[in-house]
Structure 1
Amino acid sequence: MRSSSSPPPPASRRGRARKAPAFHVSVFKHMELPCGRDWAELPADAISCILHRLDQTELLIGGVAAVCRSWRRAAREEPELWRRIDLRDFHHIPPFNWPVGLRSIMRAALRLSAGQCHTFFGEHLHDDHFVLLAEQAPLLKSLHLINCYCISDEGFANTIKKLSLLEELELSWCLNRTQVLELVAGACPGLKHFRLVNHWNFEPKDDRKARAIARMCGLRSLHIVNDKLDNEGLATILDSCHHLEYLNMRDYWNIKMDENLGAKLARINVDDYEYLLPSDPDSCCSSPFSSYDDYGDLSLSYYLGDDIDDMDEEHGRTIDIKSMCRYLS
């Protein structure tokens, strides 16, 4: 029995315990973490949450490989991390004055995906890179090729046949020739989304590209920028692609809207928003590594290669606090 002098217990508000205050993860930037913290003690789900916030290039050559064995194992043994592989702008990362080339990075990412990669973004690829992708990603459904002008027509023709499951394809500033579009139409019968972005096109009007796109009968969305498309070509596409729901066009000086074309477009969501180039300072496609100032210090950069577990274990137990805060931001 409680003594009469003891204070009464605090009254709970509506019978519920008060919740602990919640803080945004950014508060860790302003906290001094204990030196030598053993990051291997983090729960597996916390490690997985952190890794899912990083892109593949960050996972492969960032500080993840230097934290500890458990982090490296988590990055290697979870194919879900590698189902979407984005290697755009990877050449802009400062540590690439050390010998890890695009093929090595690409091979490592595809190996870690264990054949489950379904989305791939690539820039400045060559024929051998494209062949490697087709061999290691047989389930690929979404492919985005940007500035891949070194992929030859022959190399593309021999490889695109292996990617018959593609549902989404982007060809930006590369592979915009008529024969390439004809190959895509024949090799990818399930294509639903197609994006074609050209450089300034000074070639004479040619409706063969429109006829090639019209063969992609299952298209749901179509985005074309800066091509010699006219009323006749657009009408050909609309008459063949009966499932088309979204159309985005820009820089089409040959198209003159008339009653016939307007009737065909009535069933489609037409968008003509301003398309920003990656080099545009206002573009949302600017380099994702522009704010990674920590990469200026090469001591914070490691490669998640096959021999990474041979590194000095004492050095791999801890990670620089500044680099860790970057992961938590």
Structure 2
Amino acid sequence: MNAMPIPEPPMEEGTQLPLDALSLIFAKVGVDVLMGAGLVCRFWLHAARVPDVWRTLHMEMEDNKALRSETTNILRALAKVAVNRSAGQLEAFAGYSFVNNDLLMHIAERSPSLKSLRLNNCWFITDDVFEKVIRNSHLSELRSLELVNINIGNKGLMALLDNAPHLDSLYLWNCFKIDDDNALREKCLRIKNLTLGWDPYDDDMFQEPDLLCLN
């Protein structure tokens, strides 16, 4: 027996926008919706739960004062809520230092449509778990990966290259555990846009690096 569709809540007094328009606005607002906009009324909460709102999730704290004021645990919880609300439709995620092994696994296991992943200064992510996440998840749609200051090495990177057949853009910066050897170069031949850069003397984590292209 097919489940009955859940009716939309009635528009409350003061609400002028239809659901589709409000959801489109929330999609532009992004994660800030979880920090108050969805609590205004039942209609807004319903709009904030539409999966289309969560196709893109950017949680890079240097660009968001509200995120910088939250604790690491709250940021992880907010990210999990957003991923769950996407109902498998998340296509792009960008996160900063709060992302750890558990959150990465949560994203990978629930985001079969993920095409772009950007992780910056995520020292809580370890190479063994990164490899496990890549091998055991369904990131076959991943097209672009950017890793900056991440503790992954050849093991995790090789797993990625073996399990992301559509990956065509790979940007690595200050991933010091990666050894640029012949086996890795051979695996990377199919990547159209591959860049590996490092600067052990650079203390400015936000500086745009000079990059060494591998192919």
Partner of 1:287: none
What is the CA-CA distance between 1:121 and the residue it aligns to? Answer: 1.0
Partner of 1:47: 22
In structure 2, the gaps of 5 or more residues are 1-11, 201-208
Q: Does 1:219 align with 2:199?
A: no
CA contact (8 A) 2:188 2:194 kept: no
Partner of 2:102: 128
TM superposition outliers: structure 1 runs of 4+ over 6 Å: none
Q: After superposition, where does 1:1-329 map in structure 2 within 5 Å?
A: 38-55=13-30, 57-62=31-36, 64-76=37-49, 78-89=50-61, 92-93=65-66, 96=70, 101-124=74-97, 125-161=99-135, 162=137, 163-198=139-174, 207-208=180-181, 211-226=183-198, 250=210, 252=212
Aligned equivalents of 1:197, 1:221: Cα separation in 2: 14
CA contact (8 A) 1:117 1:137 kept: yes
RMSD of Structure 2 on Structure 1 (CA): 3.2
Report the TM-score, using the length of structure 2 for normalisation.
0.74
CA contact (8 A) 1:189 1:216 kept: no
What is the CA-CA distance between 1:38 and the residue it aligns to? Answer: 4.1
Partner of 1:318: none
- Between the two proteins, the alignment pairs up a number of residues equal to 190
Aligned equivalents of 2:141, 2:18: Cα separation in 1: 37
The one-letter code sitting in structure 1 at the alignment partner of 2:116 is S
Judging changes above 3 Å, is the alpha-carbon distance between structure 1 residues 176 and 103 closer, same or farther for their aligned structure 2 residues? closer
**SS at the partner of 1:116?**
coil
CA contact (8 A) 2:127 2:152 kept: no
Judging changes above 3 Å, is the alpha-carbon distance between structure 1 residues 138 and 46 closer, same or farther for their aligned structure 2 residues? closer
CA contact (8 A) 2:131 2:157 kept: no
What is the CA-CA distance between 1:50 and the residue it aligns to? Answer: 2.6
Percent identity, please.
30
CA contact (8 A) 2:23 2:52 kept: no
In structure 1, the gaps of 5 or more residues are 1-36, 229-248, 256-264, 266-329
CA contact (8 A) 2:59 2:96 kept: yes
Report the TM-score, using the length of structure 1 for normalisation.
0.50
CA contact (8 A) 1:194 1:221 kept: yes
